A and B are shown apart, each in its own frame.
Chain A
Amino acid sequence: LHLGVTPSVIRKRYNLTAQDVGSGTTNNSQACAQFLEQYFHNSDLAEFMRLFGGSFVHQASVSHVVGKQGRGRAGIEASLDVEYLMSAGANISTWVYSNPGRHEAQEPFLQWLLLLSNESALPHVHTVSYGDDEDSLSSAYMQRVNTEFMKAAARGLTLLFASGDSGAGCWSVSGRHQFRPSFPASSPYVTTVGGTSFRNPFQVTNEIVDFISGGGFSNVFPKPSYQEEAVAQFLKSSPRLPPSSYFNASGRAYPDVAALSDGYWVVSNRIPIPWVSGTSASTPVFGGILSLINEHRILNGQPPLGFLNPRLYQQHGAGLFDVTHGCHESCLNEELQGEGFCSGPGWDPVTGWGTPNFPVLLKTLLN
């Protein structure tokens, strides 16, 4: 029994033993970035690890904070990102990109992209909680940001984006409801992370869909070749597909993977806060697990994982718990009754290939 998700619940569910931590002897590193103008306080991380980090070797402070931090109140998102990235990717050097204090005419997310283009030595894994509706952004902007992700992929950086917390989304286009995809989740050059819940919220059980988990098909980016087979399989076999008028079946489909996104404990401003939910939580968890796999790869003399999707889809999600129960939310209308896509065997646009089973995923990605 447990009263919400803590590091030990995460480590138990994803089969991380006390030995599954960074060795502290490699140049491995990971980073989380949030653009909500929130401060991050190391003291919160130290308190969090004091409360919840007793069962595994961990670092109680971050290695590098990019962006001025002030004495102001810490933000829950900034605290959550770091605390769970450093719980899943334990004992691995961690950077935090949290940028309050920038000039008023700058765009925080764009400033992060400039940082990527200006620093030779960056962490291997970046978890990012940021997303906007595709329809609110210009195509010039999205195409250029997509190119920035290609630059990062060419350099072997792994970028993980939250899939969003509005399910399939919904908006009205010339009087008809349609699903509302989110960017950068819909970029074909990032790995997008959806969300799950425990079937029983007070036990470590198998996982079902968290109804908020963002997912669907891009209206801007075509489907990349690496996912054609998996998506075709889903569209052919799903017993509960929404009417095709709601989505663009030829678009880049997301998410690619998932992790728990429901009922987290977070320490912010020294206060433990329960029941925090969102794919901003699942993303650092998945990122930390990829960092652990990078640790083993580096110790084996192999390169870091880099852009994961081609390999993930080629291996048909080996090493992931397949989530096959539950649907995410969408348009509240007569036709859909609020139900978007539903999960099913193999890849689906709610939880992707599923959630990490560390020892099996490690074996798969070490080959």
Chain B
Amino acid sequence: NYSPEPDQQRKLPPGWVSLGRVDPEEELSLTFALRQQNLKRLSELVQAVSDPSSPRYGKYLALEEVAELIRPSPLTLHTVQKWLVAAGARNCHSVTTQDFLTCWLRVRQAELLLPGTEFHRYVGGPEVSRVVRSLHPYQLPQALAPHVDFVGGLHRFPPTSSLRQRPRSQVAGTVG
């Protein structure tokens, strides 16, 4: 096995509390970021369409053309789908570029699929949201290393707003 995101922070953000382990029979949806192709070519194209001195400036690609360029290889698509179906994933849906796959699994299936995960329900944040996350590092079979960039829905909590109300007196003191 290997850890796709060993450096992802996995601590509970301030103001969030755990409501305990999620029922193993509950269903959750996870998003798999599949490895893309031709990224160097994509970078060159971005440079070409964004540089005013380039003859190709402003000649943008359609979504379908971007998809044609970067879609995962057939091997990646086949390997990931086989792995997910074998684990009991269902109701998977992809996007036009085919480089994201969102599937539904039972919690017990997800915890088997991603060794190390332990799903808890948390509540918190400015909007008192509820999320299901795992604060334990997850692993993937080594065979998936060339095919999956990361799995979304495990570690990252919704962001909090950084807007502030600053009455004038406070600002005046600060401007100096």
Contacts and interface: CB of A to CB of B under 8 A. Distances in A.
Partners in one complex: yes
B158 A104 contact: no
A119 interface: yes
A326 B174 CA distance: 11
Contacts of B174: 211
Contacts of B160: 36
Chain B interface size band reads 35 or more
Interface string A116-149: 0111100000000111100111111101100100
B58 A311 contact: no
B53 A314 contact: yes
B97 interface: yes
A214 B4 CA distance: 29
Contact of B39 (A105, A129, A140, A150): A150
B95 A306 contact: no
A153 B59 CA distance: 11
Interface in B118-134: 119, 121, 125-127, 129-133
A299 interface: no
A120 B153 contact: no
A164 interface: yes
A110 B161 contact: no
Interface in B42-99: 42-43, 45-47, 49-53, 58-64, 66, 70, 95-97, 99
Contacts of A76: 161, 163
A110 B159 CA distance: 12
A119 B95 CA distance: 9
Given A114-B100, A150-B43, A151-B97, A263 B166 contact: yes
Contact of B95 (A117, A165, A275): A117
B167 interface: yes
Contacts of A110: 31, 152-153, 156
A204 to B, nearest CB: 15
A108 B9 CA distance: 17
A38 B127 contact: yes
Nearest to A144: B149
A75 interface: yes
Interface string A248-291: 00000000000000110000000001111111110000000000
Interface in B157-176: 158-168, 171-172, 174-175
Contact of B132 (A105, A132, A278): A105
Between A140, A143, A189, A276, the greatest number of chain B beta carbons within 10 A of the residue's beta carbon is seen for A140
Contacts of A137: 8-9, 156
B175 A208 contact: yes
B4 A140 contact: yes
A240 interface: no
Interface in A132-182: 132, 135-141, 143-144, 147, 150-151, 153-156, 164-166
Contact of B158 (A37, A208, A212, A276): A37
A105 B114 CA distance: 15
B29 interface: yes
A52 interface: no
Interface string B129-152: 111110000000000000001101
Contacts of B132: 104-105
Interface in A59-114: 75-77, 80, 100, 103-111, 113-114
B102 interface: yes
Contact of A114 (B59, B95, B130, B133): B95
Given A36-B126, A306-B58, A141 B158 contact: no
Nearest to B153: A105
Contacts of B175: 197, 199, 201, 208, 326
B157 to A, nearest CB: 9
A333 to B, nearest CB: 19
Interface of B: 4-9, 28-31, 33, 36, 39, 42-43, 45-47, 49-53, 58-64, 66, 70, 95-97, 99-100, 102, 119, 121, 125-127, 129-133, 149-150, 152-153, 156, 158-168, 171-172, 174-175
> Nearest 7 CB-CB pairs, A to B?
A156-B60, A138-B5, A138-B8, A303-B58, A105-B28, A136-B9, A165-B162
Interface of A: 35-38, 75-77, 80, 100, 103-111, 113-114, 117-120, 129-132, 135-141, 143-144, 147, 150-151, 153-156, 164-166, 189, 197, 199, 201-202, 208, 211-212, 262-263, 273-281, 302-303, 306-311, 314, 326
